[in-house]
């Protein structure tokens, strides 16, 4: 705990220094610098606040202990013992809070995201469930007041989705949804199944932090841009102009297609947005691979055996296999009420990172 306290004192001192800089007129007039300092100060504030509360509790503990050595009578000693017990509980709780606050932050946590949902094994049934997952995440985003934009969608003729790419704009979207990346398995009786046999299908989900222009530099010479006439379900033409855009990033071979908008310029802008996010994810994954050979969360191939979560309709349950939690609230979850699942995943991730920190 001594090392922790020293680190907290350094953070408190750094916060004070930033506060002084922010009161300097030269800094106030330099808007970009002031904004950087304000952001840094805001990030340190919760840690400093918790540390100051911790120090106050330590002082109270010392003062209460002093009462036991001043020839106090039995009544005072009893009160002091009870207060010390209460202070010890508060200190322990605050120590855990401070450890969590000091965990290295994922720099992408506050970002908006690109959410990609693709039907995997299971044909038409997988496409139908992919559409349900798109709706589930859209509802979850709406409950948080985030803005959702369809960047690209490839639909089937019966209400299914082969692939959908959504832009979810809102502070902290990545921190809440990053654990959704992986294979989602559904077990249910399809409406077309006359014998009542349960089918298993899969949908893959990828959650990418949205990339800023400054984070991913794309050389226009590295892009091949093709335009064509957009099509709807079943291949029928839905536009009479060449408004759909396909962008190929030549160095990596990544291909992004957008055809939802009637404007070629809008489709191009959306495709570039998705491409930037994918390139940033690829660069981040490459860096992470140098530290660890396996990524804890991965999309995989979409095979039925690779799954992070199972949605079992006959039993009305959802099981997350990474943390071993099962909830019998499938209808509510599909309506976007994911908080219990996501909170448990976040807590589990914090616990794992605390172990690594120790």
307 shares its domain with 172: yes
pTM for the model stands at: 0.66
Order of strands across the sheet with 325-327? Answer: 147-155, 161-169, 113-119, 199-209, 182-188, 309-312, 317-320, 325-327
- 83 and 124 fall within a common domain: no
285 and 184 in one domain?
Answer: yes
Is there a single domain that holds both residue 61 and residue 121?
A: no
The structure tokens listed for 282 are 């690829």
Domain count, the chain: 2
Tokens of 189: 């009786």
Query: From CA 147, how far away is CA 142, in angstroms rounded?
Result: 7
Strand, coil or helix: 292: coil
* 193 lies in some domain: yes
357 located within any domain: no
Q: What is the CATH number of the domain that holds 88?
A: 1.20.58
Half-sphere exposure for 10 (CA within 13 Å, toward CB): 7
Domain check: are 325 and 195 in the same one?
yes
Q: Looking at the structure, do residues 243 and 344 belong to the same domain, yes or no?
A: yes
Mark whether 319 and 348 lie in a shared domain. Answer: yes
Instruction: Specify whether 129 is located in the same domain as 192.
Output: yes
Q: What is the pLDDT of residues 189-239, one digit of tens each?
A: 887 676 778 899 999 999 988 876 556 778 888 889 888 877 655 445 555
CB atoms within 10 A of CB 182: 23
Does 70 share its domain with 163?
Answer: no
Three-class secondary structure assignment of 110-133: CCCEEEEEEECCCHHHHHHHHHHH
- Residue span of the structural domain in which 263 resides: 115-352
pLDDT reported for residue 95: 86
Query: pLDDT (tens digit, 9 = 90+) per residue, 136-166?
Result: 999 999 999 999 998 888 888 788 999 999 9
């Amino acid at each position: 705990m001594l090392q922790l306290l020293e680190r907290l004192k350094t953070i408190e001192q750094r916060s004070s220094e930033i506060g002084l800089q922010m009161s300097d007129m030269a800094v106030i007039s330099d808007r970009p610098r002031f904004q950087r300092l304000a952001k840094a100060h805001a990030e340190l504030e919760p840690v400093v606040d918790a540390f100051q509360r911790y120090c106050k509790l330590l002082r109270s503990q010392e003062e209460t202990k002093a009462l036991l050595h001043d020839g106090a009578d039995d009544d005072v000693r009893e009160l002091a013992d009870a207060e010390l017990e209460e202070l010890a509980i508060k200190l322990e709780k605050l120590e855990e809070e401070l450890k969590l606050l000091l965990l290295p932050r994922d720099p992408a946590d506050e970002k908006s995201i690109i959410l990609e949902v693709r039907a995997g094994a299971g044909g038409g049934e997988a496409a139908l469930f992919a559409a349900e997952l798109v709706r589930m995440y859209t509802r979850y985003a709406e409950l948080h007041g985030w803005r959702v934009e369809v960047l690209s969608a490839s639909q089937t003729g019966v209400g299914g989705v082969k692939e959908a790419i959504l832009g979810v704009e809102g502070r902290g979207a990545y921190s809440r949804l990053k654990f959704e990346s992986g294979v989602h398995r559904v077990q249910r009786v399809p409406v077309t199944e006359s014998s009542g046999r349960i089918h298993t299908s899969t949908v893959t989900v990828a959650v990418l932090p949205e990339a800023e222009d400054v984070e991913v530099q794309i050389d226009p010479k590295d892009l091949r841009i093709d335009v064509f006439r957009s099509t709807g379900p079943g291949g029928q033409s839905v536009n009479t102009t060449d408004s759909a855009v396909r962008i190929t990033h030549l160095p990596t071979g990544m291909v992004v297609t957008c055809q939802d908008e009637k404007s070629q310029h809008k489709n191009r802008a959306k495709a570039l947005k998705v491409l930037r996010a994918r390139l940033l994810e690829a660069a981040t994954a490459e860096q992470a691979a140098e530290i660890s050979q396996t990524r804890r969360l991965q999309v995989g191939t979409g095979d039925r055996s690779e799954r992070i979560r199972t949605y079992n309709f006959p039993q009305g349950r959802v099981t997350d296999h990474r943390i071993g939690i099962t909830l019998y609230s499938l209808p509510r979850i599909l309506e976007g009420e994911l908080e219990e699942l996501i909170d448990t995943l976040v807590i589990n991730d914090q616990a794992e990172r605390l172990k690594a920190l120790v």
